[in-house]
Amino acid sequence: MEKPLKTITVLGAGSWGTALAMVLADNGHTVNLWGHNAVQMEEINSKHTNEKYLKNIQLPKGIKGFTDLETALESVETVILAVPTKAVREVLQKVKNTVSRALTIVHVSKGIEPDTLLRISEMIEEEMDETTLKDVVVLSGPSHAEEVSLRHPTTVTVSSKNMEAAELVQDLFMNQSFRVYTNPDVVGVEIGGALKNIIALAAGITDGLGYGDNAKAALITRGLAEIARLGSKMGANPLTFSGLTGIGDLIVTCTSVHSRNWRAGNQLGKGMKLQNVLDEMGMVVEGVRTTKAAHQLAEKYNVQMPITQALYDVLFNDVPPKQAVDLLMGRMKTHEMEDLFNILGEKMT
C-alpha cells in the first residue's frame, strides 16, 4: 500500500534540518524549510543549495525555504524541530502564537536545558498546550548531516509516549538509505543522544593531547557506563544505551571529524581557549551546554560521573585539559562490572 504524501515543515535550516528535509523530499513529501536568514532562504529557493551548512550538495526541488513562520506552518500536521536546545523555547513560543491546531512535533536536537534540567520533549510539553500539541516524537541516533545529505546508509531511532505517532514518523522518513527503528524509551533515547556529546568533547580533548586510540576507547566505554548510570536513575531502560542512541551515537560522535563536539574538544586539547573555539566553529556545540546540565543532574540524582566532572572543570573552572585527564586516570580503583550490577539491580528491585 502506497503511503500518503504530506506537506511537512522543518524549523531550522542548519545542516541537520536541511539533511532531514532532503530525506523527506526524497520520499516525495513537500517540505517547508523555515529559517531566519532571508539570503539563505533565497539561495535554497533559487539555487537549491545551502552552501554554508552542506557544501556541494544539490537539494531536491521539493524543499522550499521560508522566513515567514505563518506561511511555513500553513495546513501542516507535522513539524520537525531542528533548532539548538537554547533556541527551543523561543521558536516554540512563536509556533504556539501562530497555529490554532494540534501539531505532531518531532524534535531532532540533542541536549538538556541547564538549571531546569528538562529534556527537550519536556520543554516542548511545557511550552505548548493541548490545543497546539498532539504528540511529541524524538528522532535520534548515529547520524551526521553531511553523510545523510550524500544518501549514505544511516540508521536512527524514533521514540514517543504514543507509539502510533512514532510509527507514523518512521513511515515519513524510512527509505533505502535512511532506516528508522522505533523504541518506546523516550527518556533513554533523549539522555543517550544528549550525553554522548559530553563524551565526544572529552574524546576530542584526548586526541588533541595526542593520547591516541587507547584513551579514546577507554573514554567511550566508561562514558557509556556513566550515561547508563544517570539515565537509569532518571527512569531509562539500560538496554537502550546498548542500541543506536547509546553506543551507536557514542561511536560516531567520538570518532568522526564531522562531529562538532569532537572538533571543539580537539582544539581544547591543543590549548585553545573555549570562547575562541566556539567563535571559530561558528555553529552550536551542544556538548558545552549539556555538560553544565549533566553536572547538575549528577548532583541531583547523586550519581558519580567522573568524565562529566572532569570536562566541567576544563570548560568552566579553567582546569588544564592534561591535568583533568591525569586526574581521571588516577581515580580510586573499582570493579568494571560494578556499574552493570548496580544498574540492573536497581531495575530488578
Reply yes or no on whether the pLDDT at 170 is more than 50.
yes
Q: Could you tell me which of 259, 260, 283, 277 has the C-alpha nearest to residue 321? A: 277
Over range 327-349, report the average pLDDT.
57
The pLDDT of residue 140 is 97
Which member of 110, 196, 216, 292 is catalytic? 196
pLDDT in tens, 178-224: 999 999 999 999 999 999 999 999 999 999 999 989 989 989 999 99
Cross-strand partners of 65: 33
Q: Give CA 252 to chain center in angstroms.
A: 12
Region 261-284: what's the mean pLDDT?
Answer: 89
Q: Which domains does the chain have, with CATH numbers?
A: 7-184 (3.40.50.720), 192-348 (1.10.1040.10)
- Phi, psi angles (nearest 5°) of residue 220: -65, -45
Looking at residue 282, its pLDDT comes to 76
Among candidate residues 27, 261, 16, the one with its CA nearest the CA of residue 141? 16
Q: Is the pLDDT of residue 121 over 80?
A: yes
| CA distance linking residue 162 with residue 184, whole number of Å | 8
* List of E strands, 86-226: 103-107, 133-140, 154-160, 178-182
pLDDT confidence band for 76 (50 / 70 / 90): very high
For residue 2, what pLDDT is reported?
A: 63
Is 196 marked active-site?
yes
- The set of cell numbers assigned to 175 is 527509505
CB of 151 closer than 8 Å to CB of 170: no
- Retrieve residue 119's grid coordinates: 529534556
Confidence label for 348 from pLDDT (cuts 50, 70 and 90): very low
Which pairs with CB-CB distance under 8 Å and at least 24 residues apart come from 52-55?
Answer: 53/13, 53/14, 53/15, 53/18, 53/145, 54/15, 54/18, 54/19, 54/145, 54/146, 54/149
Between CA 282 and CA 191, with CA 265 as vertex, the angle to 5 degrees is: 90
CB atoms within 10 A of CB 326: 11
Residue 53 and residue 92 in contact, taking contact as beta carbons nearer than 8 Å: no
- Non-local (6+) Cβ contacts of 343 within 8 A are 228, 229, 232, 238
In whole angstroms, what is the distance from residue 234 CA to residue 117 CA? 11
Which grid cell sits at 306?
Answer: 567522573
Question: Over 80: is that where the pLDDT of 148 sits?
Answer: yes
Question: What's the chain's average pLDDT?
Answer: 92
Kindly list the strands in the beta sheet with 133-140, ordered across the sheet, starting from the edge strand earlier in the chain: 63-66, 30-34, 7-11, 78-81, 103-107, 133-140, 154-160, 178-182
Instruction: Report which of residues 2 and 243 the model is more confident about.
Output: 243
What pLDDT, on a 0 to 100 scale, did the predictor assign at position 332?
A: 47
Closest CA to 224 of 253, 192, 202, 190: 192
Average of pLDDT values for 263-274?
93
Region 41-66: what's the mean pLDDT? 97
More confident residue, 97 or 2: 97
What pTM was computed for the model?
Answer: 0.92
Which of 74-88, 244-258, 291-305, 328-342 is predicted with the least confidence, judged by mean pLDDT? 328-342
